[in-house]
């Protein structure tokens, strides 16, 4: 099996991160990993969900969507169907939890930041690209709030990034693209912090269960990828 | 009143049309008019709505959506609210009717072409930009179907493009951007063919009714703009 | 082509307006144009939508519905389908905008008036009959509020009425009935004030684009019809 | 307690039944009992619900709706809320069952007849007026189908009519109007056939349970009313 | 026709009531009548619906659901379909009204008690079993609130229980199980108080209308059953 | 920190599995782990989802629901809210994937088996208890189909069971109950086969990221628990 562009098994696709891709959000990036392109943005709302009212704590909520034309065969529009799918709901919750894991919500204060991840083009790994890109969009927004005096300091505790790994035809691969993902025996999404700890591990056997040995190798691949992503995040964030 | 970039009253914003912006649809363009950016695409479905089954005729249907982060203040996601707004529904119907007006649906045969207009950045005129851009996306898709032998000839009867005009502070303006649009006394969207005839006129008094004289001047402005748009369409479509 | 009842091309159908058709609304009329019959009513709600709270301004909102048995073949009930159609939504918005265009919402004060247009029998022109009839229902309601001391003066700035015009078999016709409407090449709805200015123009080519010359002739027909309607409105409103 | 118009306790309100009130349905009546006015209609659909496909049996289904302006304070539109209320659903089911009880569905054949009951003005007893009126609308439709050769004979087994009875301030009353109904201790809707048998009895204690003696008296009142209604049905149906 | 277990026509199925079946609600019972098993519970909410705010009065609301696996062929899940059926809505309203008929809502104070009836196994008579069981669950909850000092006295005015009766193959039967119910010519649900008065009577002819004589015999059967149920309620409630 | 009943950190709660708890499904168990009680059932539908039609392959789909009264504070009913929550959707997908991982869908043939997991009482670990219990319910159903000649052999490839593990106050715990779960720093659900391989790993940091060392210890705990569960499954399944 030869990967697109002769990629090695432990090699990620070319990454391109374009900050400020659109003008209206407080922070935005176009996050590209190979042919996967996700527009990530962060916008402020001056209120919190009911369960946080009066607690002094803020909130970060994420929404995710595939544009109908982003996929190989057209994805029917969830607004037209009148409800979001289980897959979308699962991804939104994952992005939200991952980003919140590195934010000090007390320091943010009683505000909600909306993270929107809209997939312009889907070629595998859209949920992990969404997490990696949203973290930068959030940082850009927070910096803007700090400059505007809305917050005193940037309430981030660490970096956070994510990558997919999996087993295809018995090979362990880093950063699966769509044709690999759709043939994967095992599919795993891993979210880690800049200090190398885990925020989320979601591993699923598709057709064939996996051993402890497989798991260890997949986690090593993921860690390698995430470390590289965080280097890139740091360079963009000017740190 | 000075327009952004010292535009004249009868001058459109800079136009940029990027064909093939994304890889999966049969045809796609990123349509930009000033800061308004709409991703237009066309995709085939090998069936028709029930009312056309067995008639030999095809169909073209359009969907439109504002990305939540495309607007000044975040637009709540229609998929999350569980239904599309009246405004969205109205725009989708307008785009569909406008595009169908120049297609020979009999020649297309029993197929549906889905037009998707997703607004990446909204700065006024998103519905008219959607029409102008979708026509090119449709042409690109039809050309591909012809090359693939799915259709014998390109079933287009004419060009079609659209522009907004309006009255702001008593001035008649071509191609309103958002700050103009939100202050407009009269707002009009005009859709015309390459042969200079009308497909749609939708004029609305916002707060102040308008005279026959006003109407005539607005239609002249619109005609000027649409003629320019059709020149650009032709150059992109290689004709 | 001979029109029903040997109508001339520029002749409207017989008009019958029955004020006070039902007892519960603050104002109501049964509006009949030929076989088209719409029950229009106005009712007060002592609050405004969120975006107007605290502004001192009132609001007028309109809802429109076809009774299932009003049409040739039964229209499925929107309440049973769980959502209103794009067509209904478009018409509701048009009625609301048209009526608001002649009301001084500041003078109304922080109240909402609900306009309900329920089509008992549909034979073309239901949306324009709804506008013409609703204006009278609104006037009756406002007069009642004035008599009850709820408002000081009747906050109307002008009359408003609407009519459809179109091109059928190459003929320009005023006030299309259903069989004409369903065969129309061009269909146009026009809303005008008592002072002869335009509030809305919505013209649509159905299958064949129309020239500037066509447009001028259609607008002249519409103006003739609306002037007659406003004469009738005035006589009913006792002015 | 004096009833409106000095009605006796066992006296119904004035009844007016206008057959053919609208032109599109196969059968229609405007059913008026005092100020309660319901538009009842019957329309044919040439198919049956899935559970009857291939059985040779037909179906009758009923829908019911209060126009928003039919009630004292405006009833919000169920289409706008996106779902029908429990009350509406209950009434629709009652009308459907009641009408079906006197129809030979086998003889009707594999067709559905849609009964629509739209309340133009509500002043108590809308569900029972709907049943009594719908039976006539159905008869008119069936007669039309027979004349058109769609059915051989009219598949009715009996007459059916309905009335409300109740206890207000300790008094047993026939045919409650709204102000009586809203003060009733016991509220009962009774549906009976022309041969004097029961199709439905729905009695509800509102605040105070009722004795067997109360029940007997209420049923006698209902029987008296329904017998009178069936006399009127017969005269309209020309039998 | 021989009934399951050689039951007599006027004999109920074996009854088993297990108080405290689950630990979280304030009161709960597993109510079993033959193979019909309903889990009834009562839980407190410290607020009332809008129409009771500030009145000092409380409210009791009931919800009912068939588990998908409770029925012979799987019942599709209403949460997945996105709406509750007409049948469910009707039953929920019946349970709520029946329970409220014996509660002094003023004495309860501004609180809502939620009654949940979840059918674990359905074999006919689920709605009447729900009423009989919910009354005990409510009593258990009220006792708990009294002990906790939330209410001063138990605001119950009487007992309430319910049973189904019907005519099957010409035989009048008490407490129909599913195979009887699905073959019934007449189906009647009766709700009565401890003092022998009626709260609800809902009798429906399924295919064949019933006489006054039939009604009298069915009511006598129902009364017999309900008296037995109330004896059991009393023994469980320790009175 | 002392666990309920002095449980050790690596000790599961008492397990009780009652096969055949209800009579209508093809297979059912009441699965109890401590106070968590889930009713799991399997029912056959003789068709498959569209994407499998004509492939010869079967399908297994799972639905999950919390009874409103199963939780500490009442969970609002998803059927009443009109949609299932993101959490429910996520759990349903997890159960479905886990069960399908050990079924040979080709051998099952073109049928769907519906797995229903209804939580009667929730005290932590409901999703993992659902998986462990559903596997037995499925086995019972398959055995019944085999005996009825619907399938030739039981199409199971392995056992499957699931357990939760987590970190609470720095302690690694097996089988978290609700009070532990709601205080957990890390929460992990693990699904494994009888041959000791992984089907799913879903680990989430709640507030504090976890190290590789933590992960290894948690997986060891999970493996211990699942091995015990599979021993119990085998004894019930008579193998």
ipTM of model: 0.94
Contact B89 C86 (CB under 8 A): yes
Which of F90, F201, F203 has its CB closest to that of A93? F90
Residue C91 Cα to chain centre, angstroms: 9
Collect all residues with Cβ–Cβ distance below 8 Å to A106 and sequence separation of at least 6: A56, A57, A58, A155
Query: Is pLDDT of F207 > 80?
Result: no
Per-residue confidence band for F208, with pLDDT thresholds at 50, 70 and 90: confident
pLDDT of residue D106: 96
Overall average pLDDT of the F126-143 stretch: 98
Contact F212 A192 (CB under 8 A): no
DSSP of E35-88:
TEEEEEEEEEES---GGGTTSS--EEEEEEEE-GGGSSSPPPPHHHHTS--HHH
Overall average pLDDT of the D131-148 stretch: 98
Contact D101 E212 (CB under 8 A): no
DSSP strand E in D25-111: where?
27-33, 36-45, 59-66
pLDDT of residue C206: 85
Contact C77 D71 (CB under 8 A): no
Chain A positions touching chain B (beta carbons under 8 Å): 22-25, 28, 35, 37, 39, 41, 43, 45, 63, 65, 67-74, 77-80, 82-84, 88, 114, 116, 118, 120-122
Contact B205 C201 (CB under 8 A): no
Overall average pLDDT of the B203-223 stretch: 95
Nearest Cα neighbor of F40 from F103, F112, F118 is F118
Overall average pLDDT of the F156-161 stretch: 97
Over residues C184-202, the pLDDT tens digits come to: 999 999 999 999 999 999 9
Count CB-CB contacts under 10 A for residue B45: 13
Q: Which residues from chain A sit within 8 angstroms of residue B39, using beta carbons?
A: 67, 69, 120
Contact A198 F219 (CB under 8 A): no
Per-residue confidence band for B123, with pLDDT thresholds at 50, 70 and 90: very high
Per-residue confidence band for A82, with pLDDT thresholds at 50, 70 and 90: confident
Instruction: Report CA-CA distances (Å) from A57 to A46, A47, A153, A160.
Output: 12, 10, 15, 21
Per-residue confidence band for C207, with pLDDT thresholds at 50, 70 and 90: confident
- At residue C91, the 3 state secondary structure works out as helix
Count CB-CB contacts under 10 A for residue B224: 15
Interface test with E, best of F25, F40, F79, F137 (most E CBs within 10 A): F79
Distance from CA of A217 to the nearest CA of F (A): 13
- At residue C135, the 3 state secondary structure works out as helix
The H-assigned helical ranges of B101-209 are: 105-108, 126-147, 178-181
Contact E63 F84 (CB under 8 A): no
Query: Is pLDDT of E238 > 90?
Result: no
Among chain A residues, the shortest Cα distance to B37 is held by A22
The C-alpha atoms of residue E64 and residue D225 are separated, in whole angstroms, by 36
Query: Is pLDDT of C82 > 90?
Result: no
Q: What is the dihedral of CA C194, C200, C204, C209, to 10 degrees?
A: 80
Among chain D residues, the shortest Cα distance to E206 is held by D101
Q: Which residues from chain A sit within 8 angstroms of residue F97, using beta carbons?
A: 204
Q: Whole-number mean pLDDT of chain F?
A: 96
Q: Which residues from chain E sit within 8 angstroms of residue D97, using beta carbons?
A: 204
Distance from CA of C37 to the nearest CA of D (A): 9
Count CB-CB contacts under 10 A for residue D83: 18
Query: Is pLDDT of E239 > 80?
Result: no
Contact A82 B77 (CB under 8 A): no
pLDDT of residue B238: 87
Nearest Cα neighbor of E33 from E8, E21, E16, E10 is E16
Contact C79 D69 (CB under 8 A): no
Count CB-CB contacts under 10 A for residue C18: 15
Distance from CA of D70 to the nearest CA of C (A): 6
Which of F24, F35, F122 has its CB closest to that of E121? F24
Contact A120 B22 (CB under 8 A): yes
Interface test with E, best of D193, D205, D221 (most E CBs within 10 A): D205
Collect all residues with Cβ–Cβ distance below 8 Å to D212 and sequence separation of at least 6: E198, E219
Q: Which chains touch F (3 or more CB pairs under 8 A)?
A: A, E
pLDDT of residue E207: 77
Which of B202, B204, B209 has its CB closest to that of C197? B209
Q: Whole-number mean pLDDT of chain E?
A: 96
Count CB-CB contacts under 10 A for residue D53: 11
Q: Which residues from chain B sit within 8 angstroms of residue A82, using beta carbons?
A: 82-83
Evaluate whether C141 touches C25 at the Cβ level (below 8 Å).
Answer: yes
pLDDT of residue F4: 94
Q: Which residues from chain D sit within 8 angstroms of residue C122, using beta carbons?
A: 24
Two tokens, residue D28: 């229609």
Nearest Cα neighbor of A94 from A86, A83, A82 is A86
Which of A70, A78, A116 has its CB closest to that of B67? A116
Among chain F residues, the shortest Cα distance to E84 is held by F79
Pairing of strands B59-66, B112-121: parallel
DSSP of C18-72:
EET-SSSSSEEEEEEETTEEEEEEEEEES---GGGTTSS--EEEEEEEE-GGGSS
Overall average pLDDT of the A126-151 stretch: 98
Which of F37, F68, F79 has its CB closest to that of E84? F79
Among chain A residues, the shortest Cα distance to B83 is held by A82
Q: Which chains touch B (3 or more CB pairs under 8 A)?
A: A, C
Phi, psi dihedral angles at F147 (to 5 degrees): -65, -30
Query: Is pLDDT of E1 > 80?
Result: no
Among chain A residues, the shortest Cα distance to B30 is held by A120
- DSSP single-letter state for residue E131: H
Tell me chain F's radius of gyration from C-alpha atoms.
18
Collect all residues with Cβ–Cβ distance below 8 Å to B3 and sequence separation of at least 6: B9, B11, B173, B177, B180
Nearest Cα neighbor of A9 from A193, A169, A189 is A169
Per-residue confidence band for E82, with pLDDT thresholds at 50, 70 and 90: confident
Query: Is pLDDT of A208 > 90?
Result: no
Return the residue matching tokens 């190459």.
C170
Query: Where does residue E232 rank: exposed (0-12), middle (13-18), buried (19+ CB within 10 A)?
Result: middle
pLDDT of residue E206: 85
Query: Is pLDDT of B1 > 80?
Result: no
Query: Is pLDDT of F236 > 80?
Result: yes
Two tokens, residue C149: 């001391």
Contact B118 A67 (CB under 8 A): yes
Pairing of strands D112-121, D59-66: parallel
Q: Whole-number mean pLDDT of chain C?
A: 96
Distance from CA of E48 to the nearest CA of D (A): 19
Evaluate whether D26 touches D140 at the Cβ level (below 8 Å).
Answer: yes
Q: How many CB pairs under 8 A join E and F?
A: 100
Query: Is pLDDT of B82 > 90?
Result: no
Per-residue confidence band for B192, with pLDDT thresholds at 50, 70 and 90: very high
Count CB-CB contacts under 10 A for residue B142: 23
Which of B101, B207, B215 has its CB closest to that of C209? B101
Two tokens, residue F59: 């399908």
Query: Is pLDDT of C1 > 80?
Result: no
Contact F86 A93 (CB under 8 A): yes
Contact A211 F199 (CB under 8 A): no
Evaluate whether F173 touches F167 at the Cβ level (below 8 Å).
Answer: yes
Chain D positions touching chain E (beta carbons under 8 Å): 83, 86-87, 89-90, 92-93, 97, 101, 158, 188, 192-193, 195, 197-205, 207, 209-212, 214-215, 219
Q: Which residues from chain E sit within 8 angstroms of residue D202, using beta carbons?
A: 201-203
Q: Which of left, alpha, beta for A214 (phi over 0: left; psi -120 to 50: alpha)?
A: alpha
pTM for this entry: 0.93
pLDDT of residue B141: 98
Q: Helices then strands (H, E): number in chain F? A: 6, 9
Distance from CA of B6 to the nearest CA of C (A): 30
Among chain E residues, the shortest Cα distance to F85 is held by E79
Contact B39 A116 (CB under 8 A): no
Q: Which residues from chain B sit within 8 angstroms of residue C83, using beta carbons?
A: 83
Contact F83 E82 (CB under 8 A): yes
Q: Which residues from chain B sit within 8 angstroms of residue C93, using beta carbons?
A: 86-87, 90
Q: Which chains touch A (3 or more CB pairs under 8 A)?
A: B, F
Overall average pLDDT of the C19-32 stretch: 98
Q: Which of left, alpha, beta for E145 (phi over 0: left; psi -120 to 50: alpha)?
A: alpha
Query: Is pLDDT of A52 > 90?
Result: yes
Q: What is the dihedral of CA D222, D223, D229, D230, to 10 degrees?
A: 150
Query: Is pLDDT of D207 > 80?
Result: no
Among chain C residues, the shortest Cα distance to D79 is held by C79
Which of F193, F202, F219 has its CB closest to that of A202? F202
Contact F198 A207 (CB under 8 A): no
The C-alpha atoms of residue C137 and residue C143 are separated, in whole angstroms, by 10
């Amino acid at each position: 099996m030869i990967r697109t562009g002769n990629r090695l098994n432990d090699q990620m696709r070319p990454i391109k991160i374009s900050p400020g891709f659109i003008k209206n959000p407080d922070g935005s990036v176009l996050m590209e990993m190979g042919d996967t392109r996700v527009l990530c943005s962060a916008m402020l709302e001056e209120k919190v969900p009911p369960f946080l009212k009066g607690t002094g704590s803020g909130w970060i909520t994420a929404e995710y969507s595939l544009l109908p034309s982003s996929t190989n065969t057209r994805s029917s529009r969830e607004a037209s169907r009148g409800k979001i799918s289980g897959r979308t709901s699962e991804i939104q919750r994952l992005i939200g939890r991952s980003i919140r894991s590195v934010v000090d919500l007390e320091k943010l204060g009683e505000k909600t930041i909306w993270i929107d991840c809209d997939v312009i083009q889907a070629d595998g790994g859209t949920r992990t690209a969404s997490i990696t890109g949203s973290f930068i969009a959030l940082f850009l927004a927070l910096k803007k709030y700090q400059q505007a005096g809305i917050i005193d300091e940037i309430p981030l505790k660490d970096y956070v990034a994510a990558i997919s790994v999996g087993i295809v035809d018995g090979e362990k691969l880093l950063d699966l693209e769509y044709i690999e993902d759709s043939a994967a025996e095992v599919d795993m999404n891993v979210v880690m912090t800049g200090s190398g700890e885990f925020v989320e591990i979601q591993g699923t056997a598709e057709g064939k269960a996996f051993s402890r040995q497989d798991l260890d190798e997949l986690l090593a691949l993921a860690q390698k990828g995430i470390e590289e992503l965080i280097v890139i995040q740091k360079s963009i964030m000017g740190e």
